[in-house]
Amino acid sequence: MRTPPAGYIAQRRGAHGDADVGDDRDDAGALVAVVEVAGGGAFDLAGAEPGTAGRQQGSQDGAADDGQPARVGRADTCGRGELVTGGRKEQLDRGKVAARPFGPVTVAKSYRLLHAILETASDDQLIRRNPCRIDGAGKEESAEREIASLPAVFAVADAVPVRYRLLVLLATFGSLRWGELVGLRRENVDMGACVVRVIETTAELDRGGLVPETPKSKAGRRTVASPAELVPELRWHLDRFAAPGERGLVFVGPKGAPLRRSNFRPIWNYACEQAGIPGLHFHDLRHVGGTLAAATGASLKELMARLGHSSTRAAMIYQHATRDRDEAIAKALGGLLQQVRSEPADQAGEGI
């Protein structure tokens, strides 16, 4: 089986809001697994079966990126109209033992993407019906990760090499993704206005190549305000570590090369161990920033704009209560309780 061409997936994701795979490189294995389970191992979205020529989303002449017609192959089971049963849901759990492990959240996102692709294929009459009918397969079920405290974040910022300190701080207080940070250029940083413009990102491919991209959605292309307290750190970093020129990357390695997730991961893991919080993910910093923004009283719409989310479902994650905030609420409730208990009985009865 061949995986769907990246262009096809990206176009479909743009046309369907619920197809929200976060990282093509990390999710590719999960998508392959979902395709195999949904189609009994016989789906070929890259195009092979005769008589099933179709078109990619946005294409006027039905040609794929390589000039060949886009095709959707069908398994015999789909030709007979047999549907996927719930028994196959267990097969989607094999990500833990895959050559490149992936988790249930990645599987759920990949399933939603595949469902959206095949739903469009069904609407275009390329296939008779959408075979993605596994109940609950698109639902994300994962334990909520504990939000790191600000002292922990600064401990990691102090533990990483100094050239990466601002990377940690902007990921937290700007709630920026890894690809948005490594694709950030000098010309998109406005220290006077204390804002960062997210208009370019960088994706890292399986074979190690780096590909410049634009944000995945219209919401991802945004301007993010940063605390004024970060300006001195930002100016100091740009003077010493950023690549030269207006188009110079803000974050580069010691030799001036663009940052790669694979090369940065050992540095990150070591810093987390030194800070006493092993197991912290770099993406957790974005969650910290989103949660802090929600704690300031930001509305759901404001959170969506700041985080670059096009769906309320994603932004609502950050409106959960942090432990510190929950304790503050409990303390306030305790104060009200003490106030009621201290009032005379006759005064307490007046409000009834």
Catalytic residues: 177, 283, 286, 309, 318
Q: Is 318 exposed, middle or buried (0-12, 13-18, 19+ CB in 10 A)?
A: buried
CA 111 to centroid of chain Cα atoms:
15
User: For tokens 């989103």, what's the residue?
Assistant: 290
Amino acid (one-letter) located at 4: P
Structure tokens given for 198: 């997210």
Which residue, 14, 274, 303, 322, is CA-closest to 144? 322
Which residue, 15, 6, 14, 18, is CA-closest to 215? 14
Interior/surface letters 133-158, b for 16+ CB within 10 angstroms, e for the rest: ebeebbeeeeeeeebbeeebbebbbe
Amino acid (one-letter) located at 326: D
Q: How far apart are CA 264 and CA 300, in angstroms?
A: 33
